[in-house]
Chains A and B, each alone.
Chain A
Amino acid sequence: MHARSNKVSSTPETRTIAVEVLRYQPGDATTPYVERFDVPFTDDMSVLQGLQHIKDRLDGSLTFRWSCRMAICGSCGMMIDGVPRLACHTFLRDFWPGPLRVEALAHFPIERDLVVDASDFIDKLPRIKPWLEPGVPLRVRAGEHLQTPAQLARYESFSHCINCLLCYAACPQYGLDNSFLGPGLTALLHRYNSDSRDAARAERMELVDSEEGVWGCTAVGYCSEVCPKHVDPANAVNQNKTASALSWLVRLLPGRA
């Protein structure tokens, strides 16, 4: 016990792990290829730091996205040993002795190395109206638009989404047909629909009920497993299946237009 605490205070032990990166350089090659790098690491190093070591010391052409290093910007999502994870939120030590395989997020086109083309997601984003539409004009003089804790609880977990796209890389239905709105955007849509200050639910439900909407989901449920913010997009999608089915039944009732 004593020896171990001494070790923590001294220089941390350095080990080496082989990192296999799926590389794609659109200017030089027509298909991706695997390149292996030996990365020295200490127990406190993330996969992102490993990639930064490669870029700084071994091959400056390695391309990947990152920003905050603390699992809040959602930039460094990638497949790490086949699982969608944030590279900054994953330790190299957990994969020792390796080798560790790193690949761009599944179900998106690879732009270059570990960078994906996320324009499908970005293009769909405004269609869910990810903002509050109060319905009636609000005046600043009227003061804050108050909510009870219970009203907050209805949507709060769905507001934690950081748009990291891990849930899309976990969704085979999106991979097979990307016209599907997908887990993340449905969770965000549900966040606004569940907000007591919003009045645009009817418009958003048209998208939920459409061919691109929730019925593309087959309840695989992996999206919720990989979400680093515990948003539970599978729950958002399936709650909206219930809502969509109910509104369809109501439309079948006689006496309604």
Chain B
Amino acid sequence: MAARRPYVRPMDGWWRRDRFFLKYMARELTAFFVVAYALVLLAGVIRLSQGRGAFEGWLDGLRSGWSVALHLVLLAVFLFHTYSWFSIMPKTMPPLVVSGHRVPAWAITAAGLACAGVASIALFLAFAGRPR
């Protein structure tokens, strides 16, 4: 019998090996965009603390073409972030039993997406009518 010589395969580029891993990496990448938008909002809070003029300068900055483009990109990334977040949610929680039956994974995901949608629309409607 030949001597044992187990061969260990390299892990280089593992995330390109499978579509599922690509989706996972995309989900993780969206976290950086969430941080980016948090920094935009944080800048607004700091400008607010510096007085009316500073805050209005920040608001004017948000209306620039570059800012609108950035917000469109952020919106697209946030939509994927929300979808990926609620897709994995059923795997991260204990079984949910309602009147003796386990709530299926798709229902948990759908409920999460519905809540996010309703909250977003409610927030938008609450502020959409305000004068600029």
Contact = CB atoms under 8 A, between A and B. Distances in A.
Interface of A: 24, 26-27, 31-32, 82-83, 106, 109-111, 117, 153-154, 172, 175-176, 218-222, 224-225, 232, 234-235, 238-239, 241-242
Given A219-B92, A221-B88, A238-B92, A83 B18 contact: yes
Contacts of B3: 26-27
B14 A172 contact: yes
A36 B19 CA distance: 25
B93 interface: yes
A242 B92 CA distance: 9
B124 interface: no
Given A26-B3, A110-B9, A172-B14, A225 B92 contact: no
B14 A220 contact: no
Given A26-B4, A222-B24, A106 B9 contact: yes
Q: How large is the interface on B (under 10, 10 to 19, 20 to 34, 35 or more residues)?
A: 20 to 34
Contacts of B102: 153
A96 B18 CA distance: 20
B7 A219 contact: no
Given A106-B9, A110-B6, A221-B88, A242 B18 contact: no
A166 B123 CA distance: 44
Contacts of A26: 2-7
Contact of B8 (A109, A224, A234): A109
- Is chain A's binding surface mostly helix, strand, loop or mixed? mixed
Contact of A225 (B6, B8, B20, B28): B20
A175 B24 CA distance: 16
What 9 A-B pairs have minimum CB-CB distances, sorted nearest first? A27-B2, A109-B6, A26-B5, A238-B92, A234-B91, A110-B7, A117-B6, A109-B8, A220-B24
Nearest to B87: A221
B92 A235 contact: yes
B7 A32 contact: yes
B125 interface: no
B5 A219 contact: no
Nearest to B100: A150
A222 B20 contact: yes
B51 interface: no
Nearest to A219: B88
Interface string B9-39: 1010011011011001000100000000000
B23 to A, nearest CB: 9
A117 B7 CA distance: 9
Given A31-B7, A83-B18, A220-B20, 18 more contacts: A24-B7, A82-B17, A82-B18, A109-B8, A110-B7, A153-B102, A172-B11, A172-B14, A172-B21, A175-B11, A219-B91, A220-B21, A220-B24, A234-B92, A235-B90, A235-B91, A238-B92, A239-B92
A27 B5 CA distance: 8
B88 A222 contact: no
A153 B96 CA distance: 12
B97 to A, nearest CB: 8
B96 to A, nearest CB: 11
A26 B17 CA distance: 25
A239 B94 contact: yes
Given A110-B7, A117-B6, A176-B14, A222 B21 contact: yes
